[in-house]
A and B are shown apart, each in its own frame.
Chain A
Amino acid sequence: MNTAEVVVNMPPANAMEAGQFIQLDNVFKAYNNELVVMDGMNLDMRADDRLVIIGPSGSGKSSLLRVLMGLEGIQGGDINFHGQPYIKSENNDSKVVSDELHSRVGMVFQHYTLFPHLTVMGNLILAPMKVHGKDKQSCIAKGRELLARLGLEDKVDYYPSQLSGGQKQRVAIARALMLEPELMLFDEVTSALDPEMVTEVQNVMMQLAEQKMAMIIVTHDMHFAREIATRVVFCAGGKIVEQGTPDEVFGNPKEARTREFLDKVLHLN
């Protein structure tokens, strides 16, 4: 695979300070007023952070990403992006306040979610053309450049069904990058892949990390988490139980719940 660098959009320098990039303030979310998945979550993310969120199933990891992407609402608390209201809860409901801020976040899902009736290039150029109003030729040129950097230059006219899982996931990453996001969300993007395809996707993510792309990654792969993270966040029961550098969380976890989880997961790995 071509390992040339993927060019990423960098946030402004002032966003490197805590509180200026993404800030969660006492965020509460429950399904049907019963199943609490985010129970007063507080989080400060800097623009040069690569947060890896770990935790057992149902701990609120994916919910956090889906809320940040505007796919789901919250019932309490506030989320600020660049110091401005991003998602705000009102009357037990919520929505993304600003389309402009929303378009600065990109997301890659576990199951690729490519559009099956469009070619690889069709998948890449639709949003830049329709959302940012860019002309087709410049989008195609950018798409080709991005695909070449991800080692997919010969797949331009392929349909998603003609690609391997790893290739699909790289196309999904390229599709998100076409919008030049400042923050990328990765929701268990290697969980559905065969083991030999996991590395090719993780390599692309490492390229992004080397370019200081802000990322929030939900993963069960602890080795990859340790490798890519600047900060590891452990969630359980809808709460952030512990957070710190990879060395702190993996090497010397403070909380019993974290130790218990890591013992199980690392033993399994």
Chain B
Amino acid sequence: MEIDFSIIWPYMPVLMQGLWVTVAITLGCAIAGSLLGFVVSLGRMVNNVLVSGALKLYVEFFRGTPLLIQLFWIFFCFPVVLGISIPPYVSVIISLTLYMGAITSETFRGSLKSIEQEQHDACTALGLKHSTKVIYIIFPQALLRAIPPLLSNIVSLFKESALISSVGIADLMFIGQNISNSTAHPVEFLTTVAIIYFVVAFPLTRLVGYVESRMLTRYAI
């Protein structure tokens, strides 16, 4: 079979539509998941065994099972268990948000715990109240420390979002796979899809390194 990459051009607008869906779902779930992760990380640090235990179970479950299973379970089983129908887009958004929430909660928890005891001591020495300490000293430093791993999490989510094609969402992967099947040109289209993923993900991974080194220089944290 002859390899001809010129065949992809007429399909580029459709592939770009798929990319738009991938980016929109990734960004939406990254933002919602990060907020969820932040709340979960705080919840896990409270002194209530029931709350912290339940949240730990959630985090461990979503970190310890394949994303594909989570997508399938929420897509196929959730409606059966709850007796309601969930549109596919909502289903994948729930899955990816819960997955991202579990991953980022660990990122936030790690950064909150990484604030040195000396910083807490300095706050006590200055007479800062607990709430002032948390809002003005601990959270800002923890959030700054969380930014590089958070960006890495988002890059991973962007790549892993290709799995949502398996439940019929017309993302970049889904569209690329369908076109390659219907045109019988898998090499050209799957290669193009891979390149598009790379072109988006690579600058983001570079950005992680840049942000990390810039923060190290400026804040030394």
> Contact residues of A with B, CB < 8 Å?
66, 69-71, 99, 102-103, 106-107, 109, 111, 113-117, 126-127, 130-131, 159-161, 175-176, 179
Instruction: Verify if B129 is at the interface (C-beta below 8 Å from A).
Output: yes
B125 near A161 with CB under 8 A, answer no
B128 near A117 with CB under 8 A, answer no
Q: Are A113 and B122 CB-contacts (below 8 A) given A160-B220, A161-B218?
A: yes
Using a Cβ–Cβ cut-off of 8 Å, how many residues does chain B contribute to the interface with A?
21
Interchain CA distance A212-B126 in the complex, whole Å: 22
The interface residues of chain B lying within 8 Å CB-to-CB of A71 are: 121, 124-125
Residue ID in chain A nearest B122 by CB atoms: A113
7 nearest CB pairs, A to B: A161-B220, A113-B122, A127-B126, A107-B125, A113-B118, A131-B127, A103-B127
A126 near B136 with CB under 8 A, answer yes
> Contact residues of B with A, CB < 8 Å?
118-119, 121-122, 124-129, 132, 136-137, 140-141, 144, 217-221
A116 near B127 with CB under 8 A, answer no
A167 to chain B, nearest CB (A): 14
A126 near B126 with CB under 8 A, answer yes
A29 to chain B, nearest CB (A): 16
The interface residues of chain A lying within 8 Å CB-to-CB of B140 are: 117
A106 near B137 with CB under 8 A, answer no
Interchain CA distance A126-B121 in the complex, whole Å: 15
Residue ID in chain A nearest B216 by CB atoms: A161
A127 near B219 with CB under 8 A, answer no
Interchain CA distance A115-B137 in the complex, whole Å: 7
A226 to chain B, nearest CB (A): 27
Contact of B219 among A117, A126, A176 (CB under 8 A): A117
A80 to chain B, nearest CB (A): 19
A218 to chain B, nearest CB (A): 14
8 A-B pairs whose Cβ atoms sit less than 8 Å apart in the complex: A99-B127, A102-B127, A103-B127, A113-B118, A113-B119, A130-B128, A160-B220, A175-B126
B219 near A109 with CB under 8 A, answer no
A126 near B217 with CB under 8 A, answer no
The interface residues of chain A lying within 8 Å CB-to-CB of B220 are: 116, 159-161
A117 near B141 with CB under 8 A, answer yes
B136 near A109 with CB under 8 A, answer no
The interface residues of chain B lying within 8 Å CB-to-CB of A116 are: 141, 219-221
Residue ID in chain A nearest B219 by CB atoms: A116
B23 to chain A, nearest CB (A): 30
A161 near B128 with CB under 8 A, answer no
A130 near B136 with CB under 8 A, answer yes
Contact of B129 among A130, A175, A176 (CB under 8 A): A130
B93 to chain A, nearest CB (A): 33
